[in-house]
Structure 1
């Protein structure tokens, strides 16, 4: 009986130790995803502050100022923001926004918020396909959805994450003013660990 009791205690102790390790690992993965999302927020702000077409960031795969577009600052490129989030720049009609049911989500993609999950009409796009990457600059002018970290700014990729963080920039019009909402999502060591963060940004002097 004494041996059985010791065996039971040992098994319970081992299970508790494994549970604690699993919790710690999950917490670490969550923090990695959060820091990746923070990096994407800062990257988006840097993207919004690009001044003109002559400014090139070392390592940038794409240039924000195409020959057919106006130059930054972003307030001069409002016409380039689309419902499809072309090159990560999104806009939603204010009347359509009023029809969104924030408690249930939306099945119609034209009434969904850009940053919602894709199965609810979000505009993130597949992070594995159709997005610019090193050696794949041919999609710079045509990709839609989230902007992978560093594509326009040259920020270095984050090592050890399942997917590189990405961001969307939305043009918000309220009360006669215009500003931007940045939504960033970061991933941990596992693609299933995802953190979404938002910030509001107004270009200085705009």
Structure 2
């Protein structure tokens, strides 16, 4: 398994670099449209990667500037935050394309558990933390099994299953399902839907291990 991930790391880096080159015209056009509202092109946020280490994930900005000011105590939006351009790039998953940069930098892989926010770590069980044994991915088992409609505890279950069963066949299946999910625009949340899917941060704090 370790050999598989080492070999795939080389392949992921090469594929991500080629993707950035091939998609550069699209990335440039999207960047210009995002810049029309005067804010930054990219959105950067701390996430947890391999071994639970923090890194900055890149996305195209799809929300208004200082969007987090409009989150209530439950972490949900108190007003519309998605820009007009943001609505399009989120529905088409274009907002995720800058994460090819994270793959080239070695922070992420093409396939793996999605990187999560650091605030979730204290509530995770020891078994759920097994997801950190591999690099987080642009897409993963959980994302093609319901995406934003799946509760977090179930996503972690899918993530651990992936860590234990990863291989060429499973990765190929996830790539195929990812393409279908993007094309059909399935299970995309307009904004945060914490009250519907976050069944983790309302748990008692777990022992730190």
**TM-score range relative to shorter protein:** under 0.3
Q: Which entry has the higher C-alpha Rg, 1 or 2?
A: 1
TM-score w.r.t. the length of structure 1 is 0.25
Structure having the larger proportion of residues in helix:
2
Structure having the larger proportion of residues in strand:
1
Tell me: higher relative CO, structure 1 or 2? Use CA pairs within 8 A at least 6 residues apart: 1
TM-score w.r.t. the length of structure 2 is 0.25
